[in-house]
Chains A and B, each alone.
Chain A
């Protein structure tokens, strides 16, 4: 699209509602996504506290829990089924409303248009609709807490037929599970709209001189992620609709004949439970990369700034991320090795799963190789970025085990899997979110965050996350099964001390997150005023005021002259040249 078409998408906001609530400004929408993710992550974290507490002190009452659910936690002690409800809600909140929303929708919305020199997204009204649709999905999901028989108990993967047959399958499988299906379907619509917007904006609204290869790595990551999301959510949406139809319209997409549940022969026939698994994981595995790719881009973007040098190869990094995105569609069956698929298909799914470690290893080696001989500056943002690499490696190597069907026979459904995906998809991605927050907060709010509090937050979180998630692997190797509310098995008894250690670590590490929250709120109102370019960075978001005006570049059209990362240049006034500076690049030192 030509420059002219990008001009004056919309005027300045004219009322409080249009400015702060129903805003079409991508920056406000980005902040709204961020705020929603913060609310979701704290709810999700508190749910995990409740679960961890119950696991090791099953008979101790938690005062106030009965207020949340009289049936689920009479006298403050949760029932086994309420544990499953919390587990389901924890997973759903974290995967959809935190790991998809924060690194992709929140920071992508705020910074993708500015990084490519656009005034706003290609479709600002669609963008507003994306957020408010996501918000509706969140409200529908939260409503499941307050329906009579409680939230669903079938896990965030909602395997059919447990999720499909209705309240016969147990408490929470009535209205709660229907709300879950509707919430995720609504979330899919929002994500589809958002992805289309990201893709169109990247392809059509780049400033003059901003060729594709001059886009920062973070923009590339959001762009690739939106391509993945477009295909993944397009499959989950119909899957959720079919699930809801099975539940309320008497169809049998996922329910076979002859099932006797709660002493009742179910009035269904002809469906396939494996169909749900295929559809769900066709979305579910790319979803892992929807969570982690933006973090890879963000961390690269921040590390380059902290190391004061570009990565060894911009092209290789982008190529690796594309390869990961492409391969992410060929591996879903590795979640189903023991599900009764044809055993030959296990080998077919195993191979690309192992191959995907190649681009992941390339990325890791590029980060390490770029650190070599750099001028690494330690800030809270760079600490979290380095922490990301460590967590990504730790969570990644356990993938070697789970990618092999023969080993998966033993490790499937054990705590080994819990440790693996929490480290690689949860902790690593959240470290990316933290790094992004400390790095971009000055731009978003016009104020600096407190670095001392930030560093305290980093140290406790880094050590704490290892204390929580590394022992999960040991439990899994001993064969400890996941998704049970207490340990009734004989073999699990000697493992209970390990669980106690994990619970204490989780309670402490969770408490430290309130330091982050306090820092965020305090800095928002009382932080030191931020200059336009506090980190001496090169990309376009640092050429605009902090915070940027409603039309980003004040109605001017930025022109881009350089690759995104002109750091470590000699002769320049600093050691860097900004992307929109007409200054020639001297020889790199």
Chain B
């Protein structure tokens, strides 16, 4: 029975690795300027984790194959180097792996979070609420009007609680249900939650950031490839969570200007 277990372990290990090696269900193509660092980090981690996984499973299988069913007359053998050798091996192998991943990983993380947005980045506000996203552009004046939670009135399309009667800044704000952005221009996205926790996840952008009620956060990114991508809520937000999505349209500059103009005219 030991030998069957050994063979099963080998089969399980190899079959598990096949879809990874063959890229059967790969991540979507990266469309951001920072994503390559994340993808590279992922590939390197896959290599190291995959090696650890295969090595451990195959060694387990090998030792079970060799030593299962041995009896009292068979001599017990001690692993060369004993416990001390194994502790040193773990410290050196895993320790160096950690240092390597830690250092490279820091760079990939820093790309997204440590560098402040460029001065000419375009600021857009995203608001998440049960169960839709809305996006706001500051309009010609470049200023967002203030938000008043008591003025939120979805029936009248006042999703952000704007007060155009008293607040000049808010009069030219453009509100849309999809996020249109120009390609190759940095976007500084400010995240505001209307009610509970939500999250902004675009797989192709390699961006995921929670909306935390009461805490306005910002992420910045540059999309390089025009197209239409899904924005998905990944933070459990209630009964309609499964259906909370919007679209990201990455447009050429002139298309984007046209899009904005159409909405400003409304």
Residues of B within 8 A of A354 (CB): 98, 101-102
* B231 vs chain A, min Cβ distance (A): 10
Binding stretch for chain A, among B174-182, B199-207, B252-260: B199-207
In this assembly, does B210 line the interface, its C-beta being within 8 Å of a C-beta of chain A?
Answer: yes
Residues of B within 8 A of A365 (CB): 86-87, 89-90
Partner of B27 from A368, A375, A410 at Cβ < 8 Å: A410
B residues 58-105 near A (Cβ < 8 Å) are 59-60, 63-64, 67-72, 74-79, 82-84, 86-87, 89-91, 93-95, 97-98, 101-102, 105
Interface residue count for B (Cβ, 8 Å)? 104
In this assembly, does B265 line the interface, its C-beta being within 8 Å of a C-beta of chain A?
Answer: no
Interface residue count for A (Cβ, 8 Å)? 111
In this assembly, does A4 line the interface, its C-beta being within 8 Å of a C-beta of chain B?
Answer: no
Is the CB–CB distance between B27 and A479 below 8 Å? yes
In this assembly, does B145 line the interface, its C-beta being within 8 Å of a C-beta of chain A?
Answer: no
* B171 vs chain A, min Cβ distance (A): 22
Residues of A within 8 A of B234 (CB): 412-414, 481-482
Residues of A within 8 A of B217 (CB): 340
Residue of B whose beta carbon sits closest to that of A482: B234
**0/1 interface trace, chain A 342-376, chain B, CB 8 Å (1 if under):** 01001100110011011001101110111111111
* B144 vs chain A, min Cβ distance (A): 16
Residue of A whose beta carbon sits closest to that of B52: A397
Is the CB–CB distance between B68 and A378 below 8 Å? yes
In this assembly, does B197 line the interface, its C-beta being within 8 Å of a C-beta of chain A?
Answer: yes
In this assembly, does B239 line the interface, its C-beta being within 8 Å of a C-beta of chain A?
Answer: yes
Residues of B within 8 A of A259 (CB): 149, 193-196, 213-214
Within the assembled complex, what's the spacing in Å between the Cα atoms of A513 and B37?
Answer: 44
* B145 vs chain A, min Cβ distance (A): 16
Residues of A within 8 A of B38 (CB): 406-407, 409-410
Binding stretch for chain B, among A289-297, A487-495, A520-528: A487-495
Within the assembled complex, what's the spacing in Å between the Cα atoms of A353 and B46?
Answer: 17
Other A-B contacts than A273-B212, A376-B70, A494-B25, 14 sampled, CB-CB below 8 A, are: A155-B236, A256-B215, A272-B214, A338-B210, A369-B79, A371-B64, A372-B77, A374-B76, A400-B49, A401-B42, A404-B41, A410-B27, A477-B27, A478-B25
11 A-B contacts, Cβ less than 8 Å apart? Answer: A81-B238, A162-B237, A311-B83, A313-B83, A368-B56, A371-B63, A372-B79, A398-B49, A474-B24, A481-B232, A489-B230
Q: Hey, which bits of chain A sit against chain B, CB under 8 A?
A: 79-81, 83-84, 153-155, 159, 161-162, 165, 169-171, 173, 255-263, 265, 271-274, 307-309, 311-313, 316, 338-340, 343, 346-347, 350-351, 354-355, 357-358, 361-362, 364-366, 368-378, 383, 386, 389-390, 393-394, 397-398, 400-401, 404-407, 409-410, 412-414, 455, 462-463, 466, 470, 474-475, 477-479, 481-486, 488-491, 494-495, 498, 568, 575, 588-589
